[in-house]
Amino acid sequence: MKVIELNKNALSSNDADAEILRGELKEKGIFLINLMSAAGSGKTTLISRTITDLREREPGLEIGVMEADIASDVDAAAIEALGAKSIQVHTGGCCHMDAVMTRESLEAFGAFEGSPRIIFLENVGNLICPAEFDTGAHLKVMILSLPEGDDKPLKYPLMFAESDALIITKMDAAPYFDFDIDAACRRAKALNPDIAVFPVSAKTRDGMQEWEAWLLEKAEAL
Amino acid sequence: MHEMGIIIHLAKTLEDTAREEGLVRIGSVTLRVGEVSGIVTDYFEDCWNYFKKRHPVLQDCRLIIETIPAVTRCSSCGQDYETVKYGRECPYCHSGETWLVQGNECVIKQIEAE
Ligand SMILES: Nc1nc2c(ncn2[C@@H]2O[C@H](COP(=O)(O)OP(=O)(O)OP(=O)(O)O)[C@@H](O)[C@H]2O)c(=O)[nH]1
Ligand SMILES: [Mg+2]
Ligand SMILES: [Zn+2]
């Protein structure tokens, strides 16, 4: 037997699959967003609000949502109620989506036919594993909600380091929590100087416009 | 299941390597796993022993795990310290503004094969 040195990240095969998927989607003009957060931070609510608002701006805009969950389909049902196309993906006990699972879901969704043009992947609710697995998305967006606390960048650094945008949501609840928004921003930027930060409330719609404008800009630059 | 997710990719990488290098049997794989990578090594080994049976080249492949110690650096005073011992607060200046330098990895170091 001979020794072969590899010195490769254990997830390098996933990284390669993700890169190929990202390129294929781009060629077809499909923009994929990987939305990550802890359970209950407000992913489904933010997606619903964003879809409603974007459709108001651009009535013909086709948006789809892939809801990844270990079980249940309540999130997909909530999206369908808005009249947007959605699919529920069960991860079979897995705590994250990887590039192969994302490709399979996109196939089941019929996305490779070129519609919808903007697709949200609501990842499994958890701040650890989804950060490690590249799904092939063009944009990684994370949500941190006020009740979770401003220390989360210190506890889950990889998620903050990997995300293109940080949405701080449930801002309407600010009077009830001692969340220090400056400290949260400072800690997130120490890990990732380029991260875009959007404080919003999906309930009162405060701050949603800035986030939506940024998102459309990124989608157009694909 | 975090461990299973990683094992699936590990097996795929090893199969690809075997194909590229014309290997028929991989006898062992050495992984370097960070102390705070969140990987539970006992559980990881169970997943591996279950999963390797599905891949002919990996049938008798042993999993060898080396630990990478976790080191945290303090943004305030610049010192490094042991993450597992002191956590997020710098033991030198008590600042909470600290970040992980190493200890979160999972790297395939080498394989023994024929
Ligand atoms: N006050 C307030 N509540 C919100 C806001 N966004 C979401 N919520 C509430 O937070 C709860 C969880 O929201 P979801 O959108 O279901 O969260 P999620 O991240 O999709 O949850 P999982 O898919 O289970 O991980 C719901 O009760 C929402 O109504 C907000 O901006 N303000
Ligand atoms: Mg949800
Ligand atoms: Zn210090």
A172 within domain boundaries: yes
A38-82 pLDDT, tens digit per residue, is 999 999 999 999 999 999 988 888 999 999 987 777 888 888 888
CATH code of domain B2-73+104-113: 3.30.2320.50
A50 within domain boundaries: yes
Q: How many domains does chain A have?
A: 1
Q: Can you tell me which atom of ligand 1 is nearest the CA of A39?
A: 25
Residues with Cβ within 8 Å of B12's Cβ and at least 6 positions away in sequence, in order, are: A13
A1 within domain boundaries: no
A19 within domain boundaries: yes
Domain extents for chain B?
2-73+104-113
Q: Can you tell me which atom of ligand 1 is nearest the CA of A38?
A: 25
Report strand pairing: A196-199 vs B26-34: unpaired
A194 within domain boundaries: yes
Instruction: Give me the percent of chain B exceeding a pLDDT of 90.
Output: 69
Q: Is the pTM of this model over 0.90?
A: no
> How high is the pLDDT of residue B1?
52
Is A103 touching ligand 1 by the criterion CB < 6 Å? no
Q: How far is the CA of A45 from the centre of ligand 1 (A)?
A: 5
Provide the domain limits for residue A30. 6-221
Report strand pairing: A2-9 vs B106-113: antiparallel
Measuring CA to CA, which residue among A164, A15, A37, A27 is closest to residue A99? A15
CB A7 within 8 A of CB B105: no
Contact at CB, B13 and A13, closer than 8 angstroms: yes
A33 within domain boundaries: yes
A101-136 pLDDT, tens digit per residue, is 999 999 999 988 878 999 999 999 999 889 989 999
Q: What is the CATH number of the domain that holds A177?
A: 3.40.50.300
Atom 4 (ligand 1) nearest CA: A170
A9-17 average pLDDT score:
88
Is A41 touching ligand 1 by the criterion CB < 6 Å? yes
- Specify the DSSP class assigned to residue B54: G
